[in-house]
């Protein structure tokens, strides 16, 4: 299991821990419990902009040093993680209320556009923190729309069909904050990991995807849905294949397969992958 499971999971996958499915709006710290900041520690992270400047100037030594420093700092935080559609739906059904669709801050930064209605919103906020959303007006300028649990599940399926992976995120180190429907290159965590090697902000999923070559007929419906370049079509066998070392376990390829030829396998089932996050 990933570091979040060690810190927050209490023996299970972290986002399945019911204790993380709610956050009191006004809460006192329990006796003997350390402040939330203790999980993060005294972090002095390097500046990504400074690293990119160094790379643009051909100073790869400085770039690599700054990225390594940032990764070391981020490893002491809780990160975001890809989650299969069925488990995203499970989170919603377990949480029940409140859930709200809202604007994606990554796409605002990337495209300089705001999502302003339910057909455009691509992030799903979870928990009682949504009742105080008006305290951060800039983050929520596009508005929010509260959804019934089943409507939220249907909404997740809508984005899945459009090729968006589901990224579960925490807030405050002790509760689930949201499920964002992400793609490359719009999503900052995906892009920063894929393009710049920041491998601690976005942790690989708890699963990997495998192709069952006996069931696969090579139709290619799964092609083009992987945001991490783990899935490729092998002309020698006329079938797609998935590189397990690259796979993030988002399962977008699985939900596209009409033959049930792609399976989700726990990452822990493979010794070579247990520590590949």
The H or E element that residue 210 is part of is strand 207-211
What lies within 8 Å, CB to CB, of 111 at 6+ separation is: 186
| Block residue for tokens 């002790």 | 174
pLDDT given at position 204: 96
pLDDT given at position 48: 82
pLDDT given at position 257: 96
pLDDT given at position 277: 93
Environment class of residue 114 by beta-carbon count within 10 Å: exposed (0-12), middle (13-18) or buried (19+)? middle
For the chain, 277 residues long, the average pLDDT of each consecutive 10-residue run is 88 87 58 52 58 93 94 89 96 83 87 86 81 64 86 95 93 80 91 92 95 94 94 93 96 95 95 92
What tokens does 52 get?
Answer: 């990119």
What tokens does 255 get?
Answer: 């939900």
Domain identity same for 138 and 174: yes
pLDDT given at position 42: 37
pLDDT given at position 207: 96
Structural domain boundaries enclosing 246: 207-269
Domain identity same for 93 and 177: yes
Q: CATH number, domain at 252?
A: 3.30.70.20
Residue 143 lies in a domain: yes
Among 153, 275, 257, CA closest to 203: 275
């Amino acid at each position: 299991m990933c570091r979040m499971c060690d810190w927050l999971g209490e023996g299970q996958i972290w986002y399945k821990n019911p204790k993380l499915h709610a956050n009191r709006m006004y809460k006192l710290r329990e006796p003997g419990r350390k402040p939330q900041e203790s999980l993060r520690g005294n972090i002095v992270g390097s500046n990504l902009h400074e690293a990119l400047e160094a790379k643009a100037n051909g100073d790869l030594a400085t770039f690599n040093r700054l990225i390594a420093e940032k990764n070391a700092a981020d490893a002491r935080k809780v990160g975001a993680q890809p989650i299969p559609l069925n488990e995203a739906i499970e989170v919603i059904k377990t949480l029940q209320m409140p859930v709200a669709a809202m604007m994606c801050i990554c796409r605002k930064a990337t495209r300089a556009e705001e999502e302003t209605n339910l057909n455009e919103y691509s992030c799903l906020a979870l928990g009682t923190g949504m009742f105080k959303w008006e305290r951060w007006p800039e983050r929520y300028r596009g508005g929010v729309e509260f959804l019934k649990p089943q409507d939220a599940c249907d909404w997740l399926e809508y984005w899945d069909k459009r090729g968006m992976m589901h990224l579960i995120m925490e807030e405050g180190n002790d509760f689930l904050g949201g499920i964002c429907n992400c793609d490359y290159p719009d999503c900052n965590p995906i892009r920063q990991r894929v393009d710049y090697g920041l491998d601690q902000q976005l942790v690989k999923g708890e699963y990997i995807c495998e192709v069952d070559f006996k069931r696969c007929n090579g139709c290619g419906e799964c092609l083009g849905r992987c945001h991490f370049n783990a899935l490729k079509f092998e002309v020698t066998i006329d079938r797609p294949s998935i590189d397990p070392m690259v796979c993030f376990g988002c399962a977008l390829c699985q939900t596209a397969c009409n033959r049930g030829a792609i399976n989700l396998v726990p990452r822990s089932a493979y010794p070579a992958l247990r520590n590949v996050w």
